[in-house]
Amino acid sequence: MTTIDFTAEVEKRKEAMLADLITLLKINSERNDDEADAQHPFGKGPVAALQAFLAIAERDGYTTKNVDNYAGHFTYGADLPADAEELAIIGHLDVVPAAAQEGWETNPYEPVIKDGNIYARGASDDKGPTVACYYGLKILKDLGLPLSKKIRFIVGTDEESGWGDMDYYFEHVGLPEPDFAFSPDAEFPIINGEKGNVTEYLHFDGKNAGEIILHSFKSGLRENMVPEVATAVFSGKLADFEEHFTQFLSYYGDKNLRGEFKQDGDTYTVTLHGKGAHGAMPEKGVNAATYLCAFLRAMNFGGGAAAFIKVAADKLLEDHEGEKLGIAYIDELMGNTSMNAGVWSFDENGEGKIALNFRFPQGNSPERMQEILRKLEGVTDVTLSAHIHVPHYVPGTDPLVATLLSVYEKHTGLKGYETIIGGGTFGRLLPRGVAYGAMFEGETDTMHQANEFKPLEALWKSAAIYAEAIRNLPQSQKSREHPRTA
């Protein structure tokens, strides 16, 4: 096999790669259900990003396919024998909300390069890595290097919400499923195991029965984001309210909580500010909703409002593994269950609802947790999300894993190792699917956070890794007998 200096090849394409990335980063591709229709299944932004990416691929000579604005792909290696295996590379172009997230120092959709980093929503998750991987393949195409397998480069538009893009894509694309896959949407050296993922919704009666009336409670943007802002509106006669609120903030001073309130007669509007983080790592954030409920816990609420606040303050505050709830579970291979209380609502004319997003290992199950949660005092029902992902693992002995690790070791000089995470990536869409990069060890993780950024050097380096990895991945025994995991 001809030796290629892939780092040097990336160097030649830095400006073009950065320009294409900026094109995509300027597109606000947050899901917007208010704009959803037959032509825009998740809103106009995700469709715009998909069309822009496919236009880039067409410019570079690929034949693309847009599957009804849900997802799209292009292929490479059509001249290979019909029985050649197919590698899928699966990225996504949608992003988590930024506009309603506090702390941005720049416009999240006007990319800024500062101190060697590119700042924008999607720079790290997942437009930056997707473009780096695209250029890794482009290098192989530009050089005319022979491959032993076909390539299908797929991009989705709903990874951050319900994965409806991939459900639709695989059902309607009209092609056999690829034989193996990787997704550039996580960390190096590799993610070859992912915990299961389910959201369980706690329902509460919206009625009040105490001296203090809870009118509304709102917090959270997405189930997979730690809520950084929470607001409650309530009324009643309260003495020394400002003093108690100040003392509360002081008591939790190590959490750097910020808060303010407005008083209109006996009606109070209280807002608490914590710290956002990815829902797969809730311990990295400060959940504003749980702390606000801890403040409200001492007040004389009643009925469903009291149950809503009590469960939050007594069972969810500062517990990221569900120990207080009784659902904690640890597997020797996959580790613990993690929990993120991501989206909250209470309406005095309706109901209260808390969305608990669980990342669970093999041995635990949504049904086990649901049964336990239904026994919580004051909970009227527990329902499950429509999409449930079961635990997923590709053994380290698989040639897919072994090859990717060897390329990582060559380019970094570091020892590769298997990793299992709580996050969910498109790598799990196929039985032989993994996540591979593009965050390096020691790199600051800003996914789902304000001021998201990606070091440019990390993008260049990952592009070189992707080029060599795509080239080196061998054909192996076909594995179509297993259904796609969902």
Task: Point out the residues that are catalytic.
Answer: 94, 159
Give 33's DSSP letter.
G
Tell me if residue 295 falls in helix, strand or coil. Answer: helix
As a dihedral over the C-alpha atoms of residue 64, residue 67, residue 69, residue 71, rounded to 10 degrees, the angle is -80
Cα–Cα distances (Å) from 400 to 30, 191, 195, 432, 436, in that order, read: 32, 12, 19, 8, 11
| C-alpha span between 407 and 466 (Å, rounded) | 9
Contacts of 220 (CB under 8 A, 6+ apart): 227, 230, 289, 341, 342, 343, 344, 355
Residue 276: beta bridge partners? Answer: none
Q: Which helix (H) or strand (E) holds 271?
A: strand 267-273
The structure tokens 């496919």 sit at: 54
SS3 label, residue 129: helix
Measured distance CA(267)–CA(377) in Å, rounded: 28
- Distance separating alpha carbons of residues 174 and 159, to the nearest angstrom: 21
Q: Give me the residues paired with residue 357 across strands.
A: 199, 340
Contact 348, 189 (CB under 8 A): no
Query: What gap in Å lies between CA 324 and CA 465, rounded to an integer?
Result: 43
> What percent helix, strand, coil does the chain show, rounded to 5?
30, 25, 45
- Token pair, residue 418, equals 């298997």
In angstroms, rounded to a whole number, what is the distance separating the alpha carbons of residues 239 and 353? 29
Would you tell me how many other CB atoms lie within 10 Å of the CB of residue 332? Answer: 8
Pairing of strands 420-421, 193-194: parallel
Token digits for 108? 């999240």
Q: Any idea what DSSP says for residue 63?
A: -
Q: Which element (helix H / strand E) includes 353?
A: strand 351-360
What residue type is assigned to position 90 of the chain? I
- How many Cβ atoms sit within 10 Å of the Cβ of residue 164? 19
- The two tokens of residue 324 are 């207080």
Structural contact between residues 384 and 200, judged by C-beta atoms closer than 8 angstroms:
yes
